[in-house]
Structure formats: structure tokens, C-alpha cells
Structure 1
């Protein structure tokens, strides 16, 4: 992807954000939208700062992810203004002056101290919707995060512009490149920590750049959904490898998961079966589809895989109705993704607020909205062999639904998860992750 492509798509992106902001301000009764980029936070009783994280509302407008102390001023009918903090400093690297395809769309004023921004912000702060974290307060300019404004902006962030989809496409390309390096490291016998380093090297990103902490799990560790300990020595023998890791590009995230078996065995066959189910679920990312329905369909498909491999003694329908399927697939089918790896407003009933409830018995689903063109979601079905959840099946008197000898056979492999980032369109969905793997 060239900068010319982004330059051609960016004007429409800015026009969309300006229109959304004007409507949000009207609903809230404000004249201006102020968005701080965020500030550094210092650890308690120490002089060390936490890793800086840019305000998502800020990076929605421009691909600046390392500009703490900067501000955006959005006033309907005017060009957006960027107050860019470029301090005089010899202790730290000073941010480069803004450049690139986006700068011509902003009035940019460079400031040298954070307090200098106050001279260029509206004097009547009561007329401003200030959207950011409390730490971004500057004098009397304190984020008020008015509900009417935030609800509207976050709800519509689900509908990605063509520019945003290109940004996410590039994040997937980086992530896939790193996933390939991680698989090579796994095949070569590396430890979890070694695989993680190979991933970061291939992505060109470390913990401060990645959209979330890498999950790199060998053998039974694949049954810990958010496993991040990363042993320094590989187990003996190595049976399986689950990696859930993404990448960032210009403030946008990818979220990709793959699972591998060390041998061509029954677990490898189960991985292929889950992969086939995952592709079927990806194809259901269609306009007008209730995302929660995809989640329930995932339970049926995964229970079918478990029955095919002799783990379940009951039908997929009975496994779903009794809750047995949740012992093997305990998380949601996915979530919205974009500026944040778990994008906001997943339960929003409308752009005025309200909440769409999760299906009963499925507390970990992160998205309940009806899909529409422009939405980007993850599809991540999984099968795991988790002692705590399997013990609950027995405690509920549902043990006869499971062939425990088959559970014992698969438990040393931990689990399986396959995850792609998928764009809902007017027609066939676009699978950004499979597209990158095919390149």
C-alpha cells in the first residue's frame, strides 16, 4: 500500500469525521470539540512513566500515535486545528514535525510547552465538549466527556471509512508477516519467549507498539485464554502452539490467532476442522446479521467438531442448550476492532445510548449489534480443554455428555483458536487476515 493510496482516501475520511462531529456537537449543545492526545502517567512513588497510550478519539483523525500533550480543536465549518507539542528537550527524543498525506487538511500550530496550548483553545470552555481522560486536564480545561457527544462518536466509529479499512489491511499484513516468523520459530524448537521475540522482530514492533500483549502458548498453556507468561525454556515434548498476536499501523489494530500441531496427528485434524468452521462463520459477516446469532452458530459448529472427534456424546443442539458447549468454548465469537483491539460501543442500541443485552448464558460476548457495511469484526471460535470448566460440567450432573477418555487424549494440547479480522460490506465480506496470508 502506497502513501498515494492513503492520500486519495483520506479526504473522504476527514469529511466523514467532520460531519459526525458536527452532529455530535449539535446533540450535546456545544460549539467546539476538543480532543487531547493524552499525557504521560507516572508510577506511584516513582519517577518512571507508564507506556504512553494515545487517546483513540485523537488518533481517529490523524496517524499520530506518539505526540503526548497535543490537542485537536474541531469547530463546525472550520478546518480542524492541531496544536502539536514539540518541546525543547535533550533528555528524550522530540517528536518529528508533522508531515505526510494528512497535514494539508489541518491548521497546525507547534507549541513548545503543554501549557502553551491554553492560549489557542476557546476561552469559553463551557461551549466545548472535551473528550479525553482526566489526566489530560490543562488548567481549567478538563475533559467533560458529555454522554450525548461520546455516545454518538463511539457508535459511528463502528462504521469504518475506506481509509480506515486500508489502515487495518496494512496492520493485518504486518501481523501475518510476524505470524509466519513465529511459526518458523516454533517449528525450529524455540521457547515461548523466543517465539515472542521472533514475532516482534518480524513485525518491527515491541510491547509499546503492539495493540495488545502477545499470547504465545505451547502445549497445555493454550488452555489459558490470555496466557502471557512466556516460558524461557520449551517443554518436552512440544505438542502444540497457539499464538494470538496482532500489529499496529497508524493507530489501527489487527488481531490474529493461529494454532498448530507439532505433528500430523489427530490434534492437527481437529485444528483443520475448527478452521473450516471458522471460515463458515466468517462468511456469515453480512449486513443485517445479528452478531450474537453468529456466536450461537459458533457453539453449534464447534460442538459438531467435538462430536465428530468423539469428545461429546450429545448433539450440538443439546450441548448448546445444556451449557456443555460453553465448557469447551467459554468466550465470545469476537468483537469490533479498529482504533482499539476491542473497539467501543459493542453493545450500543443506538447513537443516543442504550444497551443491547447479551444472550442468556453467554456473558463474555463483546458485541451484540446488528452488522452493517463498514463494520469490522473478529471471528475467533475456539475449543479448549480447561480443568476448571470441565469440573463444573461434572458438578452439574452433565458428565454423561462427555467422553472423558477423549478429553484426556486432547488435554495435553491445551486448545485451539483461529481468528481473522473481517469487514462487513454490502455483499461478500472481506477477510483482511486471509487476504494477507494469501499474498
Structure 2
């Protein structure tokens, strides 16, 4: 954990952000989740917003923040089995939990109902975030005496906006955590580069990357994408045997000890060298990514950065024969999204897609920037104006998705702008993506973490 004063200051900052709002804020932590019976559990992961404001990484906690006072209360689930110490060891004392989180009060969880009832009788507003786990919905339903169906419709927008405003800008101690995660992520990616070769199964490489996580005592930030079918954007299967000439997308990242995420993608040529038809695409993609990073600065919208990257991509893909006409028209029409159908990146922090549980429209958009209905652009997770110390990913890609190519051709989408025969020639080429974690600084941006090879000669050397 950080120093207890960090969490006290964050809770006070939340009060200030919520302005004249009154009442209490309820922030439930997570419970343990069983795999198939009560004592066989998934690895525990705390709710990120609870972690941000209270810091405690243990199940069965509920935080209550009084908006009209400086009193913060931590409710703790009591152990009902006196023999639990045999199986789980001695739990931290309540005094330790209160000191570590900087809370003035700590009470048994059963008393949370009394606190909520008191607030309700006094007609004080109850502020909570939309739950994304059924057990959290059940807890809120019971405390607030509302149906589970009613909970999602009664979340506090003022609380959401306050949490987003605080969490989207990273403090130096948070950047340090992200960089510590990236140091382990570098080990994972360099090992994958050394081991990726013909005849190896994808699952073998994934197992070796997870061995590094196990050795460091860390969790993965998300299930890794390691696949020679990189055109399937969220391909979480690892059953393919790699063959010479394949391109493999390796999208993998570690969490830091305090739960901050990393997220890096590299594209690897299985034979150790990019083939003649692959190298121009890879060179172009790297140019697009570096162009996008150079555009980053406070005050620019990420929508404009995405469009700048798309224009650079369209120019290059036109030169390679995939598109016809004016690059500006290729972007404005959305034709470019045939090979780049997702957004340029997303915020990153305690969640790998930071705060996405609060609603992407709250996190990636604002009153000035709304979601486009256009294919490709509508998939942007982040579009709003950037601020200093926002931390985000920059991850352009080029994909050859056979079903999408066939569908668009049959429907005659952008037929004057797309050279469909050229795309069909590459329909088995898979996908390419390059991704780094970047922090927006006062006059530009900086790629976080140690250097993970991405220039083609460096990738080939790392794989030799």
C-alpha cells in the first residue's frame, strides 16, 4: 500500500470534487469468487475504485465516506468460523486496517445496514457506482432495500464524474507503479521473442510468460492474446502450432504489486525475420504509432490523434495498393476501418481499460466529444481532450479479417476507395499491432517502462 495519508487525501479530494453534494458514498470491495465450490477460489482482485480510495487488498470490506464531514468508516466482514485461522491464518487486526487506510472508524459489516438506514431516514442521498459483479449488486440491493434491477438505474452520476476526474490523472507514485509493472512485462515479451519459433504451440509461450509472473508474485493485468490469428482481436485461445511465415500478435502485461496495470503488444515473425510482403506493413504500422505518440500533448483530443493516425495509415496503405483515391476521403468515409476497426487506445491505471466499469461514455467521452456512429470510429474507447499525466495506450493495428472483407465487398462498401483484390491477396496474413503505454506530459508524451524491441531490426535481433 501507499502511505495511509494518500488514501485520506484521495477521499478528501473526492469530497471537494462532489462540491455541494450531500449524503454518503458507499464503495464496496470485492468478495472472494469460487471456481466450482466455496473453498476453491479464483485469485483475489480488489475492486479498483475501492483500492484507489482505501488501498486494502482483502475481501469482505465496505467503505463509507461522509460528504458533510471528514469521517470515513471501514466496515469489515467478520469471520463466522472460529476455526478459520487453521485454514487461512491470522487475519490482520482491525486496528491495522484502520491505520493502513487512514479511516477514523472501523466497524463490523453488519452495522453498515444501520448506517444506511440512518441516512435514509434523514433523507440523505446515497451515492454508489454501478456494480459489475452479482455479489456487489446483491450487497447494495440488501443495504439499500431496492431490487437488484433498480440498482443499476440509480447510480450516482456526480460520483462517477468525480471518480473519473480523480483517477484519470496519475500521480507520480502511480506512474512508478505502472513502470514497475512494465519492467516485468519487458521480461515477458523478451522471453516470448526468444521462444517464438516454428513447431512451438502458442500455449507454451504463454506458459513461459506466466512463469515470470509467478516468479515475481504478480498477477497478469488481463488474459494474454498470443496468436497467429491476430485478425481476431480478442483471441484468447492458445492452441495453434506456429509455422514459419506466421505473424504472431503478443498482447500481454503484468500488474504491479499494488494492482496497477501494464499493456504492451508486439508483432513477431515466427521464422525470426519479417517476410518481403510483411516488412512494408510492419514499417508502416510503426510509423503510424510513432506519429500518433508525437501528436500527444495536453489539450488535443484523442479523437484527433486517432484520425491523424488513420490518415497516416491510409496514406501508407494506398501506396501499398490497398486503397484508391484521396487519403482524406479514405478516412472521412470510414473505408480505412476495413483494416483498422478499433480505437487507437484507452486509459490505463488500476484497470487495464481504466474505469471502464463506470461506463465508457463517462470515461472516454465528455460534453465536448461524443461517440461517432461511423464504423471504426464508434469503437473508440477514448476520444476526449487529453490532460497532463493522463496515462494511456497507443496501439494502432493492421488486420486482414476475411469475413469482413467478403461482407464489405458483397455489400459494395466504399468500392471506389478499396482495392478488394489486394485485400483478398492478404486475407490469410492475420494481423499486426504495436502498443505501448504512454503518459501525457506538459509539452508532449513519454513512453513508459524499459525499451521493449519494436523496430523491426531490433525485433529480429531479439528473436535470433
Q: Pick the TM interval, shorter chain.
A: 0.7 to 0.9
Equivalent residue runs for 1:219-230 within 5 Å: 221-230=229-238
TM-score normalized by structure 1? Answer: 0.82
Query: Aligned pairs, how many?
Result: 423
Aligned to 1:341: 352
Unaligned runs of 5+ in 2: 146-150, 455-464
Aligned to 1:129: 127
Task: Indicate whether 1:357 and 2:370 are aligned.
Answer: yes
Shift of 1:416: 0.6
Aligned to 2:10: 17
Shift of 1:237: 3.7
TM-score normalized by structure 2? Answer: 0.78
CA distance in 2 between partners of 1:82 and 1:283 (Å): 44
Distance 1:169 1:350, change over 3 A: closer
Aligned to 1:209: 219
Shift of 1:43: 7.6
Aligned to 2:175: 165
Measured against aligned partners, the alpha-carbon deviations of 1:187-227 in whole angstroms (never above 9, x if no partner) come to 47531111111111122389x93222111111xx1110111
Q: How large is the Cα RMSD of the aligned pairs?
A: 3.8
Task: Indicate whether 1:140 and 2:151 are aligned.
Answer: no
CA distance in 1 between partners of 2:140 and 2:33 (Å): 12
Measured against aligned partners, the alpha-carbon deviations of 1:312-361 in whole angstroms (never above 9, x if no partner) come to 3334223213322110001111111112222236544999x858312341
CA distance in 2 between partners of 1:44 and 1:105 (Å): 32
Shift of 1:122: 6.7
| Partner SS for 2:403 | helix
CA distance in 1 between partners of 2:286 and 2:386 (Å): 22
Distance 1:186 1:409, change over 3 A: farther
| Partner SS for 1:311 | coil
Measured against aligned partners, the alpha-carbon deviations of 1:99-132 in whole angstroms (never above 9, x if no partner) come to 9999555148787x7536668x576233453455
Is the Cα–Cα contact under 8 Å of residues 182 and 254 in structure 2 kept in the other structure?
A: yes
CA distance in 2 between partners of 1:138 and 1:404 (Å): 53
Shift of 1:429: 1.0
CA distance in 1 between partners of 2:97 and 2:39 (Å): 37
The equivalent position to 1:155 in structure 2, one of 148, 154, 165, is: 165
Task: Indicate whether 1:69 and 2:77 are aligned.
Answer: no
CA distance in 2 between partners of 1:86 and 1:169 (Å): 36
Shift of 1:241: 0.9
| Partner SS for 1:248 | coil
CA distance in 2 between partners of 1:294 and 1:205 (Å): 38
CA distance in 2 between partners of 1:109 and 1:166 (Å): 30
Measured against aligned partners, the alpha-carbon deviations of 1:379-426 in whole angstroms (never above 9, x if no partner) come to 110000011221233222544544455434533330111111111122
Task: Indicate whether 1:387 and 2:402 are aligned.
Answer: yes
Aligned to 2:25: 33
Is the Cα–Cα contact under 8 Å of residues 80 and 105 in structure 1 kept in the other structure?
A: no
CA distance in 2 between partners of 1:203 and 1:51 (Å): 13
Is the Cα–Cα contact under 8 Å of residues 248 and 254 in structure 1 kept in the other structure?
A: yes
Is the Cα–Cα contact under 8 Å of residues 256 and 433 in structure 1 kept in the other structure?
A: no
Distance 1:191 1:286, change over 3 A: same
Aligned to 2:429: 413
Is the Cα–Cα contact under 8 Å of residues 81 and 106 in structure 1 kept in the other structure?
A: no
Measured against aligned partners, the alpha-carbon deviations of 1:137-171 in whole angstroms (never above 9, x if no partner) come to 49536786423222322233212222222222222
